[in-house]
Amino acid sequence: MAAVKVKTGRAGANARTESGGRPPRHRPGRRGRLRLSRRGRRIRTGIAVLLLVGLTWLGFSIGGALTAPGTDSTAARLAEWGRTHHLGWAVTTLEQKQYAMNKPATGGSVVGGVPTVHPVDPAGGSSTGSTTQRGPRLAAPPAPIRPLAPSRLAREGQWQALFGVGKHTAARVAFLRPDTTHTSYLVDVVWMDPSLLRFKLFPGYQVPGPPMTAPDQLLGADAKSVLATFNSGFQMGDSHGGYWQNGRTIKRLRSGAASMVLSKDGHLSVKAWPGGPPGHQVVAVRQNLSLLIQGGKISPLVSSANTKTWGVTVGNKDFVWRTGIGVRADGSIVFVVGPALNVQTLATILQRAGAINAMELDINPEWTNYLTYTHTTSGGAVPHRLGTDTMPSLVRYLQPSSRDFVGVFAR
């Protein structure tokens, strides 16, 4: 009987039957098609659910930022939301483009000249001069500030009484142009006497971080007695420093960082942090960048473009609204706020105001401010701007504040 040859091999697309034809393709039955259809629907449904959850979260997240308490503008709220949700690079790019398109004017003159300040009586209204005396233990009035721009304006760099405690001048203000180029702007310099005044740090509900037990606005006795307020530092992620208050570390303090230190007795100092835990007399430490001035000398780092030194959004050479605080040799405090400042001119003005140690605080007109307060007969606080301050809202600190700030009170 003749042997029959049998072809063997893997069944597949090229396999053939003995008759030479291709085997019939396997087609899924009705049940298989149903399984594939159901699987596809589950995948599509899962994607749709994920998108819906994502969009819902995004809506609630942005909505929460826009409806949060306080007086921050919509633009500021969206920018802060972006920074806290890993979109800082996009916010920084947009802000840098904005700065490039809105550089301060050069040349020109100050419209109206240097303003005349009428000393404020915190009890209400203007003082008639009772805040010009000085007691034996009070800080000596500072010498006039030498202007940076040529051809001194009338009253430029001259100290004027701002507000008093009792019959004594507790704070003075001077106005001067920021440099030889931006001559149509004025910068405000405030001098404060620590023998008459005490300082208190208030945390914001967003900055420095998680909500704290301390209030984020002026309330009760603080609202009835506040004399002045001013802004604090950057967002903690941009400050390259830490925050410690009332025994609680919100962000670890960095050795060598510029530090605003507030003590139990209400004194304020500015120093490079020496390391280690705060002493038992310290109630708060707020760090921001590196010292502008140390030992009376301007830091060579003011010429550095390092973002770890002066922040990411704007560099050290950009002319924007800036603030800074310093301590003088006699312990008195100077605070600078104004437009068209870069890091070098901010440091120079602080130095000419007598600061031996000084640091930069917050920047940009949304966050920079110095407010004074009078009080109604019922104790209500009435805020007032300085001559050139353009902050968006006068009642910023009478409502919950998103960022920390410093309150100034009588001793």
Q: How confident is the model at residue 67, as a pLDDT?
A: 66
**pLDDT of 132 above 50:** no
pTM score of the predicted model: 0.81
What average pLDDT is seen over the chain?
84
CA–CA distance from 98 to each of 77, 78, 116, 259, 364 (Å)? 17, 15, 33, 30, 12
Q: Model confidence at 74, in pLDDT bands (50, 70, 90)?
A: confident
> How far apart are alpha carbons 98 and 96 in whole angstroms?
5
- Nearest to residue 123, comparing CAs of 135, 131, 115? 131
Pair (193, 318) in one structural domain: yes
* Strand 320-328 relative to strand 160-165, pairing: unpaired
Pair (184, 248) in one structural domain: yes
Pair (179, 41) in one structural domain: no
Q: How confident is the model at residue 159, as a pLDDT?
A: 97
Q: How confident is the model at residue 130, as a pLDDT?
A: 44
Q: Which residue has the higher pLDDT, 288 or 65?
A: 288
- Count of domains observed in the chain: 2
Q: Model confidence at 61, in pLDDT bands (50, 70, 90)?
A: low
Q: How confident is the model at residue 106, as a pLDDT?
A: 95
103 occurs within a structural domain:
no
Q: How confident is the model at residue 58, as a pLDDT?
A: 59
What pLDDT, in 10s, does the model give residues 343-396?
A: 999 999 999 999 999 999 999 888 999 999 999 988 899 999 987 666 668 999
8 occurs within a structural domain:
no
Q: Say if residues 187 and 334 touch (Cβ distance below 8 Å).
A: no
Q: Model confidence at 100, in pLDDT bands (50, 70, 90)?
A: confident
Q: Model confidence at 268, in pLDDT bands (50, 70, 90)?
A: very high
**Helix-, strand-, coil-residue percentages of the chain, each rounded to 5:** 25, 25, 50
Exposure class string for 365-380: b at 16+ Cβ within 10 A, else e? ebbbbbbbbbbeeeee
Domain boundary among 39, 62, 92: 92
Pair (126, 260) in one structural domain: yes
For the residues 222-233, what does the mean pLDDT come to? 97
308 occurs within a structural domain:
yes
Q: How confident is the model at residue 354, as a pLDDT?
A: 98
Exposure class string for 244-270: b at 16+ Cβ within 10 A, else e? bbeeeebeebbeebbbbbbbeebbbbb
Asked if the peptide bond before residue 208 counts as cis, ω within 30 degrees of 0, the response is yes
CA atoms within 13 A on the CB side of 405: 25
Which residues, 6+ apart, have CB-to-CB distance to 303 below 8 Å?
316, 344
For the residues 141-165, what does the mean pLDDT come to? 95
Pair (85, 115) in one structural domain: no
Pair (35, 177) in one structural domain: no
What pLDDT, in 10s, does the model give residues 177-208?
A: 999 999 999 999 999 999 999 999 999 999 99
Determine the structural domain holding residue 386 and report its residue range.
Answer: 111-410
Pair (88, 157) in one structural domain: no
Q: How confident is the model at residue 303, as a pLDDT?
A: 81
Q: How confident is the model at residue 148, as a pLDDT?
A: 96
> How far apart are alpha carbons 117 and 161 in whole angstroms?
7
Pair (84, 122) in one structural domain: no
- Please compute Rg for the chain using Cα positions: 31
343 occurs within a structural domain:
yes
